[in-house]
Every structure is written in structure tokens, then in C-alpha cells.
A and B are shown apart, each in its own frame.
Chain A
Amino acid sequence: MKTHNQKAWFFVLPVLFLVAFNALVPMMTVVNYSVQETFGNNLFFWQGLDWFENILRSDRFHAALGRQFLFTGLILLIEVPLGIAIALSMPRKGVWVSVCLVAMALPMLIPWNVVGAMWNIFTLPKIGLAGYFLNDVLGVNYNMTQDPVAAWVTIIVMDAWHWTSLVVLLSYAGLVSIPEAYYQAAKTDGASNWSIFRYIQLPKMKTVLTIAILLRFMDSFNIYTEPFVLTGGGPGNSTTLLSIDLVKIALGQFDLGPAAAMSLIYFAITLLVSWLFYTLMNKDNLN
């Protein structure tokens, strides 16, 4: 059991200070902008909640939000089952474990814009490996800069390439924590492979899968750099996800008020959905 000790606050003060400096001051700035209008020269006018209303009513925001949910939903549907399947078929001991783990972790350690650039090079028609094979060998008409479907497929495959390993590694950590006796008991109980998965492996992976889904949700919902470098949000607006749209408004058009209001709405949605995930998945544990 933990003991009550208010002096423990001293241990967390440095963390509190550093994170608050980075989180609260900018957050205050954003809140400040979100209720004002500026015409430059540091002149600000009180605007109330108009920006919020405008954003919430704007088709542009709805479209970006819709694309964002579509993207996050698709990558969760692909990466979670795929990650579990790969983790299940990985070796459990021996040198190959390290080789697998290191190889799989590698994409996650590549700077995000390099990931975008790498996939750009990889998919270029005529020059890229994938572009060449799809167009010239398989005869598919693949050009991501003109075809929205091709652009979507590419950013989804890129994200699966980049992040499925996170689900694999988390699931794998859950799997290796299962004592051998469980498998032995299941064998003598005559359990099928499906039963073993359903009643032994899946329950033991629950905690780590919660973490995996939460992380994948948060990160994919906030994704910016990779699709920006790869497609720039195009063709047209077809791959303009929320973050890309936000940066377009904030830095491209320098509409600080609407951008700030949009930021806050965006943050609130992320927070809300994460919290829902978190409580839903923890509800079972508490019962």
C-alpha cells in the first residue's frame, strides 16, 4: 500500500513546472486568440465565441474532421488486428526474437518527415520501386498526385508501415508474459487454438492493447508531418486531415482567431475520445 505523504509534491514540482511552462502559457495564448480578432499591428478586438461558432458551422471543418475520423478509423481497423496477428506468429525465444524486434522498431525511429520523403521516393511513378511496379509491371494506373483514392491508399499503407510495429511490440510483450502453464493447461483441457486465443491470450493482452489503441488513436488523430510531406493534403483537399488544415489556416492564411478556436475544439475532441476509450476499456477491469 502507498503511504500518504504531502511532501511527495516536492518530487513532482520540477515536472510540474516544466510541463506547465510548455502547456499552460501556449494554451493561454491560444485561448486568448480564440476570442479575439486581429488586423495586425498587435491590435486585437474582442470577438466572443464567434470563432467557435463559425468553425463548428463551417463545411470545411466538418470535411476535415470527417476525413480525420475516416483516417483514424481505417488505420485502427488495419493496424490492431494485423499487429496482433504478427505478434501471435512471432517466435517466443532465441536470437530471432531480437532480430525481429529491432527490425520492427526501426520505422518508428525515423524522423516523421523522412518517413514522408521516403514514401514519396518509394511511390514516385517511373522512379520509385512501388510506383514502377504498380504502373509498369502490374499495369495499374497509380498516381498519387492526381488520384485521391491512390493518395488515400498510400497514406494508409504508409501509416501501417510506420506504426503497426507499435501494436506488434505491445501485444508481444503481453504474450510473453503469459506463463507456460496456461498453454499446458489449455492443451490438457483440449482447447482449440481459437479458444486459447480467446480465453488466454486476448485477456492477457488487454492492458497492453488498451495502451496500443490509445496511443494509436492519439497519434493518428494528431498526425501532420508524414501526410503533409507525402501528399501536401492533396490532390485537392482529399487528404487534408485536421492538423494539415489547421496549419494552413494558422500559418498559411494567418487567421489566428479561427485557427486558435479550431485548435481548442480539436484538442477537446482528442481529449474526449481518449477519455471515452480509456474509461470504456477500464470498466471491465473494475468489475
Chain B
Amino acid sequence: MQKRHIVPVLYILFLMLPIYWLVAMSFKTTGEILSGFSLFPQTWTLDNYRTIFTDPTWYWGYINSILYVSINTVISMVVALPAAYAFSRYNFLGDKHLFFWLLTNRMAPAAVFALPFFQLYSAVGLFDTHIAVALAHCLFNIPLAVWILEGFMQSIPKELDETAYVDGYSFPRFFITIFVPTIKAGVGVAAFFCFMFSWVELLLAKTLTAVAAKPIAATMTKTASSAGYELGLLAAAGTLTIIPGAIVIYFVRNYIARGFAMGRV
């Protein structure tokens, strides 16, 4: 190992410390947590996890989160793909302004939208549904997906399209059977980002739900404040929210660096 590698090693160690602490705490009993400091759980317990997997308000939190995140990812990708294609291949009236306007939606503070969103989705009768959260997250995920996909599509030469038309492909067939598979790395990365931002966002998700579609992270906040210090339970729930993220990272690990550069390197 070279000397300079000490830097990333130390950094990763720093990243892992709070995560370790969360995981360690999830295996401790409430008594042990409150009785003082211990680096490792003294008496291992799965009680915290047992509570989460047997109590419907807890495990439905997970199912709700995964449901709206999945719906959002699918919607975002389906509409972003053709739009990104249009931006990467054609000039049309107002294209630059439209693209910039899309990006500005990522700049809007979520706090600004919390109340109007609540009113809007109540007005159209979607309050406390998965689809409401999924649609609301489109606000920042679609612009992001369009941006990433456009970056990846620009690196595909236009000759690919032209060859396909010469070979007699119709546009939809070309797009689905040739073009999308060609940029599958970009599709994977864009889907990953949609998943990620929908998964980590909470303010809007919490505002738009009450019971039926309440996300896991919101259930946690409530526990933390209402049930006093159930730190072990909180830690176990937190630990479980890290797992889906870790799984999706694993799938895009080879594209992750280029992905974070939005295909623009």
C-alpha cells in the first residue's frame, strides 16, 4: 500500500464510525444504552428488530417507502428517457430555456413547497397515497434524470440512429430495442439517483402522508419524540433504512464515479 492511501482509509473510517455506532446500538438493550458507555453490545439482543418486524406500523413504513420510491423511479425514467433523447438530438423552440427551467426545480427549497403541496394533493384527492409522494418527488427527480440521461446520450454518436433508420427500424422499435440498451449504464445510474433522492427525502413525504402511506423515516421521527428514549428501537429502524441504499449501490458500483459526474466527463 502506498503512503497516500492512508487518506482514503482514514476518511472511510470516519464515515463508518457513526454507522457502526448506529448498528451497535441497535443490538443493545435499552438498559445497557442508558446505563452508560460500551463500545460493543454487552448482551446482544434482537428485540429491537423483532419489534419492527412484528408491529405493522413499523413494517408498513418500509413497504410504503419502497412502494412510493419504486413508483417514482418508474415514472421518472419513463418520461425522462424520451425527453432526454429530444434534448440530446434536436434543436427546438425554447429548448435551452426549458432545460434550464427544469434544473431550477432542483434549487427550490423543499420547505417552500411543503404547505402548497399539502393543499394541492388534498385538493385532487390524493393525500396520503403512495402515488402522491411518487408524483411530488418527480419535481426534483425528473429534471435530474433528464440531465443525467442527456449527458450519457450525448456520447452516443448520431450515426447509430441513422444506421437504424436506414436498416428500416421504426422510431419506437429503434428506441426500445437499440438505443435504450446502448445507454443501459446511463439508465442504471439515472434510476439509481431517482431511487436515492426519493429514498432520502422526507419533508415532502411526511407532509403528504398521514397513515396509509407513511414512510418509515417518518415513523421513526414520531417514535423518537413520542415514546421518549427508545434509542435501541430507533437505531434498529435506522440501520434497516441503510440496507436498501447499500443494495442499489452494489448494482451500480462500476458506473458510480461516472454516474455522479452525470455522464459529463
Asked if A and B form a direct contact in the complex, defined as CB atoms under 8 angstroms apart, the reply is yes
For B, the interface residue count at a CB cutoff of 8 angstroms equals: 96
B194: A residues at CB distance < 8 A: none
Measured in the bound complex, the distance between the Cα atoms of B216 and A23 in whole Å is: 26
Indicate the member of B241, B248, B261 with the most A CB atoms within 10 Å: B261
Q: Are A103 and B93 in contact (CB under 8 A)?
A: no
Measured in the bound complex, the distance between the Cα atoms of B242 and A110 in whole Å is: 5
Closest chain-B Cβ to A5's Cβ sits at a distance in Å of: 4
Give 1 or 0 for each of B57-91: 1 = CB within 8 Å of chain A CB.
00000000000000000010011101101110111
Q: Are B220 and A117 in contact (CB under 8 A)?
A: yes
A100: B residues at CB distance < 8 A: 8, 12
Q: Are A11 and B138 in contact (CB under 8 A)?
A: no
A170: B residues at CB distance < 8 A: 260-261
Measured in the bound complex, the distance between the Cα atoms of B11 and A128 in whole Å is: 20
Measured in the bound complex, the distance between the Cα atoms of B114 and A112 in whole Å is: 16
Measured in the bound complex, the distance between the Cα atoms of B257 and A144 in whole Å is: 35
Q: Are A106 and B116 in contact (CB under 8 A)?
A: no
**Known pairs A2-B90, A136-B37, A166-B260; A267 contacts B82 (CB<8 A):** no
For A, the interface residue count at a CB cutoff of 8 angstroms equals: 93
Measured in the bound complex, the distance between the Cα atoms of B264 and A118 in whole Å is: 33
Instruction: Say if the beta carbon of B17 comes within 8 Å of chain A.
Output: yes
Instruction: Say if the beta carbon of B113 comes within 8 Å of chain A.
Output: yes
Report which of B105, B109, B258 forms a contact with A173, defined as CB distance below 8 A.
Answer: B258
From B18-26, B46-54, B177-185, give the one contacting chain A: B18-26
Q: Are B21 and A122 in contact (CB under 8 A)?
A: yes
Closest chain-A Cβ to B9's Cβ sits at a distance in Å of: 9
Measured in the bound complex, the distance between the Cα atoms of B260 and A164 in whole Å is: 13
Instruction: Say if the beta carbon of B164 comes within 8 Å of chain A.
Output: no
Closest chain-B Cβ to A27's Cβ sits at a distance in Å of: 8
Measured in the bound complex, the distance between the Cα atoms of B136 and A25 in whole Å is: 12
A positions within 8 Å CB-CB of B: 2-9, 11-12, 14-16, 18-19, 21-23, 25-27, 29-30, 85-86, 88-91, 98, 100-114, 117-119, 121-122, 126-130, 132, 136, 161, 164-166, 168-170, 172-174, 176-177, 207-208, 211, 218, 221-222, 224-225, 229, 242-243, 246-247, 250-251, 256, 259, 263-264, 266-267, 270-271, 274
15 A-B pairs with C-beta separation under 8 A: A5-B90, A18-B75, A89-B4, A102-B246, A109-B196, A111-B216, A112-B201, A114-B220, A121-B22, A121-B235, A170-B260, A170-B261, A266-B112, A267-B107, A270-B109
